[in-house]
Structure 1
Amino acid sequence: MPHVERRRYDVAKRAIDVTVSAVGLVVSAPVQLVTAAVVLAAHGRPVLFRQPRPGRDGVVFELVKFRTMRRPDAAHVTDADRLTSVGRFLRSTSLDELPTLWNVLKGDMSLVGPRPLLVEYLPRYSPEQARRHEVRPGVTGLAQVSGRNGVAWEDKFALDVEYVDTRSLTLDLVILARTVCCVVKRQGISGGGEATMSVFMGSPAVRVGDDVA
């Protein structure tokens, strides 16, 4: 899709995001109330997890999800230790993501786009990888339906940039349909032995003149 057409689609996409997220928040309200009660019983307060994440053009917003981990303490330090059985279920079914529809409604996020990662990753991206921030981050995205947390960081970012360059209504519908399949099959929840995904420390630098095996 040419650049101008992608920009036009972005306008239409925002209208779709507002409509779907508003309806989704209303329809999912009973499920969210039950989920909130379960999280409160399992984890205590707060029920919601809030964290700053970079959005479009790197502008930081507050991401909202249901909490899936215990508070860190002497016995539960790592993410794997802190992630509870309730949290695993919420993540595997993506129920923890339901409050994120509020981020979509506000315009922080879109239904489909590169996932918003940690603010501390911003200086670690290569210029090409940083292009993932040319669009609003998504609740789901091309990388998520291509392996979710089971995809290596470099491959994940390549898929994010591919989405930026090829985004369209057809692609978004395909990603949403594949997302449903991934959630039903509970695929790619963890990566490389981690509770979620390993920390991104930056891609290895490739020096000019180095031999490539």
Structure 2
Amino acid sequence: MIKRSIDIVGSLALLTLTFPVLAGAALAVYLSLGRPILFRQIRPGKNEVPFILIKLRTMREDNGEVSDADRLTPVGRWLRRTSIDELPSLINVLRGDMSLVGPRPLLMKYLPFYTETERLRHSIRPGLTGWAQVHGRNNLDWDKRFQLDIYYVKNRSLALDLNILLRTAGTVLSQRGVVPSSNMTLSDLDVARRERRRRPLLSVDS
């Protein structure tokens, strides 16, 4: 209950303080990409119950012919680098879909590819920031990300949350450990896990 109260007060305060920035960013998205301004996508929440994640749009429409990196606009790159594109997700925190701190919500298509231990990351609300984000943001491989997520789930406390929030502020301001799109440095989890499963078979055949 204390954590939820902090989520409500914190998200309301952040939305109020950052409203001018969010309004300016929304205008920049409208001028560079048009409508829609918001990006909405179904993600797994607590206990893998789906919810609609809200962010500022950073990419052109997917026509199936170009990569995600090519779909990113200059405005989109800046929004991702500064994490301003994440500000609308504070609405998800207010709704109770997310918490300020917790494992980041990933894609629904990844659900079949988690190990039993990794699935523990879905036993709590996903977060706007987390233990993995302050240890490299999206510049970590999948195994390391999940190790850090599970550490948080098993050791979570208000003190750890405060530590993460303070370190997040420093990480965002310095823009350490971030690339505009994780796809530039990290393959999709489903692709990575399929490749891992194939390796023993390839070694036997050789």
Taking structure 1 as the reference length, the TM-score comes to 0.86
Q: By how many angstroms is 1:82 displaced?
A: 0.4
Q: How does 1:1-213 map to 2 (within 5 A)?
A: 11-73=1-63, 77-190=66-179, 194-195=183-184, 197-201=186-190, 202=193, 204=196
C-alpha distance in 1 between matches for 2:102 and 2:43:
14
* 1:76-125: CA deviation from partner (whole Å, max 9, x where unpaired): 62111001111111011110011000000000000000000000111110
Give the helix-richer structure, 1 or 2.
Answer: 2
C-alpha distance in 2 between matches for 1:197 and 1:90:
20
C-alpha distance in 2 between matches for 1:151 and 1:41:
33
C-alpha distance in 2 between matches for 1:107 and 1:128:
24
SS in 1 for 2:63: coil
Unaligned segments of structure 2, at least 5 residues: 201-206
Distance 1:197 1:83, change over 3 A: farther
Aligned-CA RMSD value:
2.1
SS in 1 for 2:51: strand
Q: Which amino acid aligns with 2:107?
A: L
Which aligned segments of 4 or more residues in structure 1 are displaced greater than 4 angstroms?
none
C-alpha distance in 2 between matches for 1:193 and 1:61:
22
Moved more, 54-63 or 30-39: 30-39
Whether the aligned pair in 1 keeps the contact of 2:69 and 2:181 (CA below 8 Å) is no
Q: Which amino acid aligns with 2:6?
A: I
SS in 2 for 1:62: strand
Q: Which amino acid aligns with 2:37?
A: V
Unaligned segments of structure 1, at least 5 residues: 1-10, 208-213
Count the aligned residue pairs.
Answer: 196
Q: By how many angstroms is 1:26 displaced?
A: 2.1
Taking structure 2 as the reference length, the TM-score comes to 0.89
Q: By how many angstroms is 1:68 displaced?
A: 0.6
C-alpha distance in 2 between matches for 1:43 and 1:128:
40
Whether the aligned pair in 2 keeps the contact of 1:151 and 1:191 (CA below 8 Å) is no
Q: Which amino acid aligns with 1:86?
A: V
Percent identity between the aligned chains? 51
C-alpha distance in 2 between matches for 1:190 and 1:129:
24
